[in-house]
């Protein structure tokens, strides 16, 4: 997720400043909301995906060949146990094949599925691929390659891939159906049906994808880019939603996403307050949406209730997921520490337990 902004950081200097008429501010949440401090883990990671197998936690994150770390407590100590793809590049021949982004790992019927992305910072010439294994540990993963792609390659002209950025995958299984939710900037977050094998989508039959748009930020955070490559600019401006994840707690499906700037943050020129990453949510009684925020605004109309944002040392939390641990839901994410640094490698994993208020809205505690 986060890497989308890498180009922006550089390009920002040449762009117009945000117009003062830029409609509704992204948030004034800081005026009304205080966030609790995170539980710290010491784990250096970007875009974590955490699962618990027996009594062991596994964290997958951006890193050469997809980094895998293991711990017996979320608080650590975490040990790096190797990489998911071994020493191999992703079999997908585009983007960052060496260091795939934003893994999402699920387990179904004894098989572990790792959905990952390959892309180039700031561009939507991207793909979502998948690898499978019978173990969450390194060693036995098989890379099956592309499920869907945008920008170039087979199926990239099919809706919704023709207007979106196929990165930041997350998969939810509901009954006999599996849904792949993805997207970053451009037209935001989309969802399509996966085939029963969980490693393919039937893009040759677009109707079978049953695509729905689930979240979008209509208010661009910056004016349109000027990159000569049309896949590396959005003339309508940068629409900063990405990193989606769907959790379920009866009777609601919650769509979580990251909003704002994640990466290449210049400490001498921080984004305006509220323009950095924050963790937002909407909910629906269906995994297919529509997802509505606490104020009643549809996420495709720019809705999204902020559940966690910068506070104290914590800066720009995002890249989140939800882990159901026993009966408890845990919101985990990466964040920067203002007193440590704003570089990519400075990001660490933090987490908060979730409680649900009387109306069923999640609150980080
Ligand atoms: C978890 O426990 C089950 C049952 O003992 C065992 O079959 C399985 O291999 C274990 N998984 C891991 C990753 O250790
Ligand atoms: C992979 O994870 C280990 C353990 O957290 C960390 O030391 C290492 O820097 C990570 N690599 C990357 C590229 O993030
Ligand atoms: C689960 O795995 C077993 C053994 O591989 C297989 O026979 C069965 O069909 C699978 N079940 C489902 C629902 O995929
Ligand atoms: C994407 O494809 C759909 C269906 O063919 C088409 O209606 C739509 O205009 C296309 N969008 C773009 C941005 O090309
Ligand atoms: C941030 O870094 C400071 C200085 O190292 C440390 O004392 C503090 O606990 C850190 N806070 C978090 C949330 O990581």
DSSP 70-133: EESSTTS--EEEEETTTTPPPSS-SS-SSS-EEEEEEEETTEEEEEEEE--TT---EEEEEEEE
Q: Give the whole-angstrom CA distance, residue 307 versus residue 317.
A: 10
Closest ligand to Cα 197: 3
In the block, tokens 């943050």 appear at: 265
In the block, tokens 């950095």 appear at: 276
The whole-number pLDDT of residue 26 equals: 57
pLDDT digits (tens, 9 = 90+) for 150-166: 999 999 999 999 999 99
The whole-number pLDDT of residue 27 equals: 54
Strand ranges (DSSP E) for 302-361?
305-308, 314-325, 328-337, 348-356
pLDDT digits (tens, 9 = 90+) for 217-258: 999 988 888 899 999 999 999 999 999 999 999 999 999 999
Assess whether the C-beta atom of 136 lies below 6 angstroms from ligand 1.
yes
List pocket residues of ligand 2, CB cut-off 6 Å: 43-44, 63-64, 67, 69, 78, 80
Inter-residue contact 119 to 152 (CB < 8 Å): no
Domain locations in the chain? 48-364
Substitution candidate for ligand 2 out of 75, 78, 80, 263 with most atoms within 8 A of CB: 80
Specify which residues 141 forms β-bridges with. Answer: none
Of 124, 78, 11, 40, nearest to 336 by C-alpha is 40
Q: Output the six-digit token pair for 86.
A: 């071994």
Closest Cα to atom 10, ligand 1: which residue? Answer: 54
Substitution candidate for ligand 5 out of 339, 348, 350 with most atoms within 8 A of CB: 339
% of residues, the chain, pLDDT over 90:
88
Closest Cα to atom 7, ligand 2: which residue? Answer: 44
In the block, tokens 């180009």 appear at: 7
3-state helix, strand, coil in the chain (%, to 5): 10, 40, 50
Quote the ligand 1 centre to 110 CA distance (angstroms).
Answer: 9
Question: Whole-model pTM?
Answer: 0.93
Please give the C-alpha separations between residue 133 and each of 84, 113, 170, 267, 276, in angstroms, as whole numbers.
9, 7, 17, 41, 36
Q: Give the whole-angstrom CA distance, residue 323 versus residue 339.
A: 28
Catalytic residue among 242, 275, 276, 298, which?
242
Q: What is the DSSP letter of 264?
A: S
The whole-number pLDDT of residue 225 equals: 84
Q: Which helix (H) or strand (E) holds 8?
A: helix 6-11
Assess whether the C-beta atom of 132 lies below 6 angstroms from ligand 5.
no
Q: Output the six-digit token pair for 122.
A: 């700031």
Q: Name 273's Cβ contacts closer than 8 Å, sequence gap at least 6.
A: 30, 310
The radius of gyration computed from the CA coordinates of the chain, to the nearest angstrom, equals 19
Q: Output the six-digit token pair for 212.
A: 């729905």
Note if 275 is an active site residue: no
Q: Output the six-digit token pair for 64.
A: 């050469």
Q: Give the whole-angstrom CA distance, residue 40 versus residue 309.
A: 15
Q: Which residues of the chain have pLDDT under 70?
A: 1-33
The 3-state DSSP class for residue 322 equals: strand
Which atom of ligand 2 lies nearest, measured to the CA of 79?
4
At the topology level of CATH, where does 48-364 sit? Tachylectin-2; Chain A (2.115.10)
Q: Give the whole-angstrom CA distance, residue 185 versus residue 336.
A: 21
Cα angle value 56/78/69 (rounded, 5°): 70
Pairing of strands 252-259, 241-249: antiparallel
Inter-residue contact 100 to 88 (CB < 8 Å): no
Note if 47 is an active site residue: yes
């Amino acid at each position: 997720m986060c890497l989308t902004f890498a180009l922006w950081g550089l390009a920002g200097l040449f762009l117009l400043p945000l117009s003062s008429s830029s409609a509704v501010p992204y948030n004034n949440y800081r005026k009304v909301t205080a966030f609790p401090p995170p539980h710290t883990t010491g784990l250096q990671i970007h875009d974590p995906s955490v699962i618990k197998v027996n009594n062991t936690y596994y964290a997958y994150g951006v890193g050469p060949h997809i980094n895998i770390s293991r711990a017996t407590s979320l608080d650590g100590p975490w040990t790096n146990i190797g990489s998911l793809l071994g020493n191999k590049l992703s079999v997908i021949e585009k983007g960052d094949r060496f260091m795939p982004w934003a893994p999402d790992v699920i387990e179904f019927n004894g098989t572990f599925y790792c959905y990952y992305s390959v892309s180039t910072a700031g561009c939507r010439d991207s793909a979502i691929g998948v690898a499978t294994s019978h173990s969450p540990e390194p060693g036995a993963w098989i890379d099956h390659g592309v499920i869907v792609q945008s920008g170039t390659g087979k199926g990239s002209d099919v809706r919704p891939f023709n207007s979106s950025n196929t990165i930041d995958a997350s998969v939810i299984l509901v009954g006999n159906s599996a849904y792949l939710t993805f997207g970053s900037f451009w037209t935001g977050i989309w969802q399509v049906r996966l085939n029963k094998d969980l490693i393919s989508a039937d893009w040759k039959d677009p109707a079978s994808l049953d695509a729905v748009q689930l979240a979008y930020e209509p208010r661009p955070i910056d004016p349109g880019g000027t990159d000569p490559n049309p896949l590396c600019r959005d003339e309508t401006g940068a629409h900063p939603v990405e990193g989606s994840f769907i959790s379920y707690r009866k009777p609601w499906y919650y769509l979580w996403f990251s909003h704002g700037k994640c990466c290449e943050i210049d400490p001498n020129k921080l984004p305006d307050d509220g323009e950095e990453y924050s963790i937002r949510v909407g909910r629906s009684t269906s995994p297919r949406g529509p997802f509505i925020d606490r104020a009643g605004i549809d996420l495709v109309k720019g809705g999204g209730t902020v559940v966690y944002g910068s506070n104290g040392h914590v800066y720009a939390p995002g890249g989140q997921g939800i882990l159901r641990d026993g009966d408890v839901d845990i919101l985990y994410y990466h964040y920067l520490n203002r007193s440590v640094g704003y570089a990519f490698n400075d990001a660490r994993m933090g987490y908060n337990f979730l409680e649900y208020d009387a109306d069923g809205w999640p609150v980080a505690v």
